[in-house]
Amino acid sequence: MLIRNRPSWAIPERDATPEHVFLNRRALLAGAAALGAGTLGTAPARAWGFGSGAAPAAPDAPDPSAALYPAKANPAFKISGPVTPEKVNTDYNNFYEYGTSKHVAEAAQMLKVRPWTVKFSGLVEQPREVGIDDLLKAMTLEERLYRHRCVEAWAMQVPWTGFPVKRLVDFAKPLGSAKYMVMKTFKDPKMAPGQRSFILQWPYVEGLTMAEATNDLAFMVTGAYGKPLPKVMGAPLRLAVPWKYGFKSVKSIVEIAFTDKQPETTWAALAPEEYGFWANVNPEVPHPRWSQATEEVIGTDDRRPTVIYNGYGEQVASLYAGMPKDRLFM
Ligand code: MTE
């Protein structure tokens, strides 16, 4: 972690990592339930990871999709300012399946990304399961530079590789009655020690309306920095919806379901007063416990103003025309 001289207006780290506070409370409760109230006082009161002590993962076979990278850059998706260096990015992540620390890259090596199948279910013409490499063959990969803004008030700029979610929707063939696309992470506590505790309701679930999913900006990510996606970033398949807070961008997806009802999503279910279904970035709507007006640019000393829809208003504001504003930003 970089050591910075923090200006007086910067959000103290303890306030900008709300999940830790919340999760520790949850972990205490879960720990109490599992172990008996007598052990409560010994529960850890800090973020935890599995970097040391976890059995070392067996080395992986070479990634069969490696030859697909680097993919051609799509010049329509640019950013101003530099890309966050890969080393910085892969040492500052949220992947609670591997701990609530930001430094879970080592622990995430337990994630096995092959074989990997993605199931299409719910309101589809034909439910089916597809191997990730067959799915990749059916898509054309491209690179896009995206801004990435976490609800914890930090930001990065990332060169993602993948394909538009719209292409995946065409591939899945949902019925006309489908109103939402729901994406689920794997559930396997043997492969993800975090899932052995009730810090979140597993598996991690997120969802978009069909209009959001088929917007040009919604991107299914399979790689970053010109290579297959690092495990800690949610290999082999994750979402990137850059106009929303990062918790919407679910990692390591194994199932995509279509429904006609708004799904119960992980963070909204855990703390509905703090995290909602929409989660569109807006500097004027504070989180109940901290401001969203500015963001720390990870890997730099900068704290910059946050922009509505994270700067993507031109592409997405019309999706929410006529909807009650207050509900859209939580
Ligand atoms: N997906 C899963 N399965 N588990 C997680 O813990 N964290 C979310 C999101 N997707 C998370 C997840 C949060 S809070 C953020 S900010 C982003 O992933 C972080 O993505 P990054 O680590 O690539 O920056």
pLDDT in tens, 131-163: 999 999 999 999 999 999 999 999 999 999 999
Q: Does 185 show up as a binding residue in the annotation?
A: yes
Any known ligand binding at 101?
A: no
Rounded Cα distance between 154 and 298, Å, is 7
**If DSSP codes are grouped into helix, strand and coil, which group holds residue 222?**
strand
**Ligand 1 contact via 275 beta carbon (within 6 Å):** no
- What is the distance of C-alpha 6 from the center of its chain? 27
Q: What's the pLDDT at 18?
A: 43
Our measurement of the distance from residue 210's CA atom to the centroid of its chain's CA atoms, rounded to an integer in Å, reads: 19
CA-nearest residue for atom 11, ligand 1, is: 95
SS3 88: helix
Residues 6+ apart with CB under 8 A from 271: 22
Q: Which two tokens stand for residue 306?
A: 């946050």
CA of 93 to the centre of ligand 1 (A): 7
Q: Which two tokens stand for residue 73?
A: 């850059």
- Beta-carbon neighbour count of residue 146 at 10 Å? 25
Ligand 1 test: best mutation among 149, 156, 251, 274, most atoms within 8 Å of CB? 251
Nearest atom, ligand 1, residue 156 CA: 24
Give the CA radius of gyration of the chain.
Answer: 19
- pLDDT given at position 51: 55
Residue 93 annotated in ligand binding: yes
Q: What is the mean pLDDT of each run of 10 residues along the chain (330 residues)?
A: 31 42 43 28 44 60 96 97 98 98 98 98 98 98 98 98 98 98 98 96 98 98 98 98 98 99 96 95 95 98 97 97 81
Q: What is the pLDDT of residues 206-250, one digit of tens each?
A: 999 999 999 999 999 999 999 999 999 999 999 999 999 999 999
Cβ of residue 97 lying under 6 Å from some atom of ligand 1: yes
Domains, the chain, ranges and CATH?
49-320 (3.90.420.10)
